[in-house]
Amino acid sequence: GMLVGQFTIGGMTCAACVNSVEGILRDLPGVSRAVVSLATSLGEVEYDPTVISKDDIVNAIEDAGFEASLVQ
């Protein structure tokens, strides 16, 4: 089934950054839902662990020029 991962995302300084990160996450294979908050620097991602890993998600955020780490 689907899992939910929480990530801290650094380097977002405006609302367009949030839209950019959400778009990157939603375009990833295996990701069904992504919500990112500028105020808390947190992202919540629903994903299929048979398609994509938490580390893959972290790497995709970092490839876009932001810092990312797993909350748990």
Does 14 contact ligand 9UX by CB under 6 A?
Answer: yes
User: Do 6 and 64 touch, CB atoms closer than 8 A?
Assistant: no
Residue with token string 């990160």: 21
State yes or no: residue 17 binds ligand 9UX (CB under 6 A): yes
Nearer to ligand 9UX, 36 or 57 (CB): 36
Tell me the CB-side half-sphere exposure of residue 14, using CA atoms within 13 A: 1
Measure the CA–CA gap between 17 and 43, rounded to whole angstroms: 12
- In three-state secondary structure terms, 61 is helix
Name the minimum Å distance from CB 27 to ligand 9UX.
16
Name the segment binding ligand 9UX (CB under 6 A); options: 1-9, 14-22, 32-40, 43-51: 14-22
Q: Would you tell me which residues interact with ligand 9UX (CB under 6 A)?
A: 13-14, 16-17, 20
